[in-house]
Structure 1
């Protein structure tokens, strides 16, 4: 509802909002609803694969759709001025600058999914309290990692963005480690070896773990694609910004900058 009012506000201010961003926001809501009320939401406290699928999609997919909807940019465009100023301050804050790079993101994802390899996973999965916490906190965490990549409010140097590209490729391997371990291990890692009570198609605990590993492995690899796209968009913005800054220099300023650069190298 709030997003819709901001879209209306943007149109009133003469800044029509792209339809595909609104569609992306609607996709995030639809996917969130499916994860809550579909088969995954019904069996996530019983089956490992349903729990892992729900957790990974709440962390990767829902925030990805929400990030491409650019709610922060929309708030600046069509939202209340006070909230817009607060959003600008937030996007420029140190925590956002730390979260909004490809150095932190793979470490956070790796730490989160490594919990699935421990007995803590068996304690969290059947808990209703933890289910509510995951529903609220995991999408917020995922959005916090992705939003700075897709929002234009955080500026980086071209050198830093290039380093982020390299680290994003490392992330392709890091994110998959927990899924690979779940898939290739021949014993139940979290210690919950009792067969879940349910329909006849329920898998054994070990088979359930292997299915969870397959899903996590696949989703972790696919989820890096929007991150790479966001980094490419950021690189384009940074390159254009730095090119405009260089073009704006006078001949004397350019000569002084060249001398300063050569003196540093010497």
Structure 2
């Protein structure tokens, strides 16, 4: 399935890039590089020790889950697939994508208050016996491969939309809440690292290699990896929110500068009237 997803995604993205060029639009090369990085990282996670032994190794499962949730969507969002869809994709599909992004569930997921809670809920599952069931199930592995990157992209999609406008006050609140996310992301990882018993209830599974860790060591290593990946992944989000706050502040400053003295006086009187 993973190979088919990579091939289809590469073909569609390349077709849209060519269509955009035929329409006279210039598509930035670095966005294409970001998309290739997303596909390369996604393909790498499905092969090797991470993709083949994630049923036996907790740290491999957590590494795959965290990378699919944080890193792959981050590169995909930087690739600007929604902007490319509007430039080189079918008009009907572009309208459908815009409608989905404007829908209440999508706007709720992209909210700076809800997004940290979603991440906390996803990784909080690792602290329950359900994690062992999901890790050792073939169907859940396929579901993680598809659904987790989609969920991560829905959380990051609003940041990749440069045309989305917010007030500077809202952008400031988002920026501050992103720091709260730094703490929330670390909670499941810290619990996994300091616990003295196996949280998912699953014992050692067959892995015939001399370096296979014990179940508790496996869990501690998984906690270390999750802690590192979650904290590092928040850095580009903070940068993107800071850039958006700067744009909102400059836009509002220009709007105030364009007002005449009479308009500014009227605006001041209206503000004072509301305060009183």
TM-score normalised over the length of structure 1: 0.95
Shift of 1:46: 0.9
How far does residue 74 in structure 1 lie from its aligned partner after superposition?
A: 1.1
Supply the RMSD in Å over aligned alpha carbons.
1.5
Q: Pick from 82, 87, 95: which aligns with 1:72? A: 82
- Change in Cα spacing, 1:96 to 1:102, as seen in structure 2 (3 Å) is same
The answer as to whether partners of 2:56 and 2:205 remain within 8 angstroms in 1 is no
Give the whole-Å Cα distance in 2 for the aligned partners of 1:10 and 1:245: 33
Tell me which residue corresponds to 1:18. 28
Matched, 1:259 2:272: no
Note if 1:219 corresponds to 2:229. yes
Find the partner of 1:96 among 106, 127, 140: 106
1:248 Cα shift? 4.1
Structure 2 alignment gaps of length 5 or more? 1-10
Residue correspondences, number = 266
Structure 1: which 5+ residue stretches go unaligned? Answer: none
Alignment check: 8 A CA contact 1:44 1:51 kept:
yes
Cα distance in structure 1, aligned partners of 2:89 and 2:115: 29
1:37-89 deviations in Å (ceiling 9; x for gaps): 12200111110000000000000000000011111111112222222222333
1:31 to 27, 37, 41: 41
Instruction: Say whether 1:116 aligns with 2:121.
Output: no
**Cα deviation, residue 236, structure 1:** 2.6
Q: 1:251 to 1:83 in 2, by over 3 A?
A: farther
| Residue 86 (str. 1) matches residue 100 (str. 2) | no
In 2, the alpha carbon distance for the partners of 1:174 and 1:86 equals 33
Q: Is the 2:55–2:136 contact (alpha carbons within 8 Å) kept by the matching residues of 1?
A: yes
The worse-fitting range, judged by mean Cα deviation, of 97-106 and 24-33 is 97-106
Equivalent runs, 1:73-222 vs 2, <5 Å:
73-222=83-232
Tell me the distance in 1 between the aligned counterparts of 2:94 and 2:259. Answer: 32
Q: Is the 8 A contact 1:100 1:148 kept in 2?
A: yes
Aligned to 1:41: 51
After superposition, what is the alpha-carbon deviation per residue over 1:84-122, rounded to whole angstroms, capped at 9, x for unaligned?
222333333322222222211110111111110111111
Equivalents in 2 of 1:150, 1:195: separation in Å?
41
Q: How does 1:237-248 map to 2 (within 5 A)?
A: 237-248=247-258
